């Protein structure tokens, strides 16, 4: 079953000091005019582990770098610096052939089930393509059989194989995307907002399917979502991102029930809850996310933080242990016991 060092001990995925900067000078416009560009710091020194069989949930507002992180880990976007290890092997050092081989073990499910499937290919072609690219089917018969098996695994029928994406609903399309990610029998999947585009009852079907598949196939997920309740449901551990940095990380229960970073606390207090009818006081979080083109100095959250002091405006805080396997990057973490209550 598993190949390429995925049986080595330690976490399956180990990310260290990952940095991704986008240089606006690189564009055609920038080169022609020779204007000094601006560096967009999409990821800034991000480190984390994902254990075997674990789901790490990633939350944060749009523009915080969640999706960039998911893609940089798979080297779909080339990281600027830092290290990504998969089963002990340095993914960032692999050449094209070795990377292709590695991609059999690491896959991605995209947010938009409308844009991520080629409208001119049938389900059989879309789902079977990875097998063909990796030469894993000896003939058409085997390709068809393997494709049919995985399609049934995700709750579609073999009768669907020769249809085109537009003949399916959003939920069914997401199942096609999941089948494509699973057909190579990977160990690790980046789920990038896999249920955000779906209706509530369909969302539940897909969340359920992803958890069933994880159990049956022994998968490991990096699960990206802006829906905090969904993250709470699927995750073993949770990481909270703000402007390209992880500001808090720990066991799901600790981060969601005993959040220590003021940003996590305000994020959680903004989630409307069915079980607490009536208006609640939200922890004041003024304004929008600052532009990553000109992030504020010091702690990047200080412009919106209700507790910010002088040190926050000048010195960037380092992640500090606040509990077992639980860290928060905040100067005030000692005094900030419970802001929300």
Partner 1 sequence: MTDTASRPLLEVRGLRTAFATRNGLVRAVDGVDLDVRQGECLGIVGESGSGKSVTFASVMGLVRSPGYIEGGSIRFEGRELTGLAPSEMRLLRGRDIAMTMQDALTALNPALTVGEQLTEVLHAHDGTLPRERRARRIAVRERAVEMMRLVGIPSPETRLGNYPHEFSGGMRQRIMIAIALACRPKLLIADEPTTALDVTIQAQVLDLIADIRQELGMSVVLITHDLGVVAEHCDRVMVMYAGQVVETGTTRQVIADPRHPYTQGLLNSIPRLSMRGRRIRPIDGQVPELIDLPAQCRFFGRCAVRLEPCKAEIAMRAMAEGRMVRCVRAGEGEP
Least Å from the CB of residue 263 to partner 1: 9
Q: Which of 23, 142, 152, 199 binds partner 1 (CB under 8 A)?
A: 199
| Residue 152 engages partner 1 in binding (rule: CB under 8 A) | no
**Two tokens, residue 192:** 């990038």
Write a three-state SS string for 157-226.
CHHHCCCCHHHCCHHHHHHHHHHHHHCCCCCEEEEECCCCCCCHHHHHHHHHHHHHHHHHHCCEEEEECC
Kindly tell me which of 34 and 277 has the beta carbon lying closer to partner 1. Answer: 277
Measured from the CB atom, the residue of 67 and 147 that comes closer to partner 1 is 67
CA–CA dist 220, 335 (Å, integer): 36
State which of positions 61-90 bind partner 1 (CB under 8 A).
61-62
Helix (H) or strand (E) holding 241: strand 237-242
Residue from the set 270, 311, 315, 321 that interacts with partner 1 by CB under 8 A = 270
- Our finding on whether 306 is near partner 1 (CB under 8 A) is no
Distance, in Å, from the CA atom of 245 to the CA atom of 239, rounded to the nearest integer, reads 10
Nearest Cα residue to 238 out of 61, 55, 107, 85: 55
Q: Which of 268, 305, 322, 332 binds partner 1 (CB under 8 A)?
A: 268
**3-class state of residue 99 by DSSP:** helix
Half-sphere exposure of 236 (CA within 13 A, CB side): 14
| Residue (61 or 125) nearer to partner 1, CB | 61
Q: 208 vs 294, which CB is nearer to partner 1?
A: 208
- Cβ proximity to partner 1: between 285 and 332 the closer is 285
Least distance in angstroms from the C-beta of 84 to partner 1: 27
Residues forming a β-bridge with 192 = 224
Options 16-24, 177-185, 278-286, 323-331: segment touching partner 1 (CB under 8 A): 278-286
The reply on whether position 341 binds partner 1 by CB under 8 A is no
| CA 77/CA 239 separation, integer angstroms | 20
| Contact residues for partner 1, defined by CB under 8 A | 61-62, 169, 171, 199-205, 207-208, 226, 228-230, 232-233, 252-253, 256-257, 266-280, 282, 285, 288-289
């Amino acid at each position: 079953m598993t190949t390429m060092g995925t049986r080595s001990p330690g976490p399956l995925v180990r990310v260290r000091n990952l940095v991704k900067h986008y240089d606006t000078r690189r564009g055609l416009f920038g080169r022609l005019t020779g204007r000094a560009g601006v560096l967009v710091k999409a990821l800034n020194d991000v480190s984390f582990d994902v254990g075997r069989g674990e789901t790490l949930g990633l939350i944060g507002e749009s523009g915080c770098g969640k999706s960039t992180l998911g893609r940089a880990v798979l080297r779909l976007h080339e990281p600027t610096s830092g290290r990504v290890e998969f089963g002990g092997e340095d993914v960032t050092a692999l050449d094209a052939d070795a990377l292709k081989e590695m991609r059999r073990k690491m896959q991605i499910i995209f947010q938009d089930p409308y844009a991520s499937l080629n409208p001119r290919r049938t389900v059989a072609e879309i789902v079977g393509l990875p097998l063909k690219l990796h030469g894993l089917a000896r003939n058409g018969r085997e390709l068809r059989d393997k494709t049919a098996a995985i399609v049934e695994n995700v709750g579609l029928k073999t009768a669907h194989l020769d249809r085109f994406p537009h003949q399916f609903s959003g939920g069914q399309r997401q199942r096609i995307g999941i089948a494509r990610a699973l057909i190579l029998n990977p160990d690790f999947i980046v789920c990038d907002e896999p249920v955000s585009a779906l209706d509530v009852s369909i969302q539940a079907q897909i969340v359920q399917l992803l958890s069933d598949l994880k159990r049956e196939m022994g998968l490991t997920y990096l699960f990206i979502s802006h829906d905090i309740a969904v993250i709470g449901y699927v995750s073993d551990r949770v990481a909270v991102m703000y402007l390209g940095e992880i500001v808090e990380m720990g066991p799901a229960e600790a981060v969601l029930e005993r959040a220590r970073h003021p940003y996590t606390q305000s994020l959680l207090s903004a989630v409307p809850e069915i079980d607490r009818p009536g208006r609640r006081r939200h922890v004041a979080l003024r304004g929008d996310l600052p532009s990553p083109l000109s992030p504020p100095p010091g702690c990047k959250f200080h412009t919106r933080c209700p507790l910010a002091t002088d040190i926050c405006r000048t010195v960037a805080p380092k992640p500090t242990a606040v509990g077992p396997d639980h860290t928060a990057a905040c100067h005030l973490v000692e005094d900030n016991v419970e802001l929300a209550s």
